[in-house]
Amino acid sequence: MVIAPARHRMKAGHDITVNRSRRKDHPGGVLERLDPIGRGRVQVLRVPIDEAVQAVLAVRELERLKTQVTGWTWAKAAVIARTWRQLGPVRSYCEARGIPVQVASDDPPNVWRLRETQSLVEWLRRRSGAAVRVTDIAGWMDQQSTSHWWSLLREGLEDLSHEFGGREIDRKDVIEWFAEWGRDTRKRQTGLLLLSAHRAKGLEFDDVVILDGGWDRPSNREDGDADRRLYYVAMTRARRSLALLSMGARHPFIDSLDGPEVGHRALDGKGLDVADCRMIYRTLNPSEVDLDFAGRLADGHRALRSLDRIATGDAAGLEQDGDRWLIVDRGGIAIGRLARKFKPPEGATFVAGSVYAIITRYRSDSGEDFRSQLRRDRWSVVLPELVYRS
């Protein structure tokens, strides 16, 4: 048992048992029949001592499951690590392969403030009639781009359709509905979720892979069993399948796992191409950019014209300006600036950037001490996604 040796654990006097609702299920659940290799057992996977190789093999294990289970989705799977740093190669590999991936440490933008959402709201307010049908909104959305934010709003429209059907809806109610929906959407998982064990507390996933590395190094403020308890928490996030990776010959917690409910496999990383694991992705949140940059520009400034034209997914670069970094468009026009606290990954080379999101900011959002510097009541803020090579 992983948790039994831990001191100070909760419910130490209670044996761990199968949930009452699952007592009649096969010991391996649905995977006992569907997965001929794992058969629903906890998988202990021995992998080479290389974090990039571990990342590739972790994702490949999930890809293997995907071929075994009808309806399997990345949006119900997770890779958990002791530290955020260990998840970098996993994200890099997923991005290269086109696997939808999210990092739980990323703070997604406020959906209501997205340019796309505000465009929808403005269109609704401009309509001559007070009522609107879902089909009317769908027709207008069909004229928009296929960027990920428009795709998200189309998902919202499907939810709206399920709730209201084909009847007419007051446009004010539609606007209010999207505002509420946007708050809930920020928490939605849409791809493989990468997260630390601390961040995983309270969450559950169908399929979980736990990476090796750092589990034997508790902080100075923690007792010797803190990481054991944390590892157990990570293990219990899995509803259907659980794979535990071990680099090398020794793991601090899972070496003694044995029995019919555990399967051991050694995965060979020989000849594995890990080039796709070398990129570092930084998706910036509002706290990492100068939010008032465009608000301070004079009317007619070319950056304002560029901001009007630029769209989600367009290329964006970086240009150093003293101790700060400017966000520039394809033509080299500065359309934003990163916050003073931003630091590029140490020892990494900038490769490319793109517009992850464009949010709307208002004069009232700025502190009173800064409003005197502003020249407009509303402006756009670019949130970039930056890619570096390690």
Q: Report the mean per-residue pLDDT for the chain.
A: 91
Regarding whether 326 and 309 lie in a shared domain, the answer is: yes
Regarding whether 195 and 243 lie in a shared domain, the answer is: yes
In the chain, the number of structural domains is 3
Residue 272: inside a domain, yes or no?
Answer: yes
Span 187-202, mean pLDDT?
Answer: 94
Regarding whether 292 and 304 lie in a shared domain, the answer is: yes
Residue 301: inside a domain, yes or no?
Answer: yes
pLDDT at 369: 86
pLDDT interval class at 231 (50, 70, 90):
very high
Residue 13: inside a domain, yes or no?
Answer: no
Domain boundary among 232, 248, 277: 277
CATH number of 374's domain: 3.30.70
pLDDT at 219: 60
Nearest 5°: phi and psi at 257? -65, 130
pLDDT at 252: 84
Span 25-47, mean pLDDT?
Answer: 88
Regarding whether 292 and 365 lie in a shared domain, the answer is: yes
Domain boundary among 230, 254, 277: 277
**Residue of 246, 92, 117, 84 lying closest to 186 (CA atoms):** 117
Span 170-176, mean pLDDT?
Answer: 96
Regarding whether 376 and 295 lie in a shared domain, the answer is: yes
Residue 8: inside a domain, yes or no?
Answer: no
pLDDT at 280: 97
pLDDT at 302: 98
Residue 3: inside a domain, yes or no?
Answer: no
Regarding whether 268 and 137 lie in a shared domain, the answer is: no
Span 314-339, mean pLDDT?
Answer: 97
**86 contacts: CB under 8 Å, gap ≥ 6:** 51, 211, 213, 214
**pLDDT surpassing 90 at residue 232:** yes
Is the CB of residue 351 less than 8 Å from the CB of residue 388? yes
Domain boundary among 165, 185, 205: 185
Residue 178: inside a domain, yes or no?
Answer: yes
Domain of 303 in residue numbering reads as 279-389
pLDDT at 83: 94
* Least confident segment among 18-32, 184-198, 249-263: 18-32
Regarding whether 327 and 267 lie in a shared domain, the answer is: no
CATH number of 243's domain: 3.40.50.300
pLDDT at 185: 87
Considering the entire predicted model, what is its pTM?
0.87
One DSSP character per residue, 215-271 reads TT---TTS-TTHHHHHHHHHHTTEEEEEEEEEESS--TTTTT--STTEEEEE---TT
Residue 346: inside a domain, yes or no?
Answer: yes
Nearest 5°: phi and psi at 63? -65, -35
pLDDT at 213: 93
pLDDT at 102: 95
Regarding whether 30 and 63 lie in a shared domain, the answer is: yes
SS3 string, 112-133, reads HHEHHHHHHHHHHHHCCCCEEC
* Least confident segment among 17-21, 181-185, 196-200, 206-210: 17-21
What confidence tens digit (pLDDT) does each residue in 1-28 have?
555 555 555 555 555 555 665 555 666 7
What confidence tens digit (pLDDT) does each residue in 67-98 have?
999 999 999 999 999 999 999 999 999 999 99
Span 300-316, mean pLDDT?
Answer: 97
Regarding whether 365 and 284 lie in a shared domain, the answer is: yes
Residue 21: inside a domain, yes or no?
Answer: no
**pLDDT surpassing 60 at residue 61:** yes
Regarding whether 128 and 101 lie in a shared domain, the answer is: no
Regarding whether 286 and 254 lie in a shared domain, the answer is: no
Regarding whether 380 and 304 lie in a shared domain, the answer is: yes
pLDDT at 163: 94
pLDDT at 255: 85
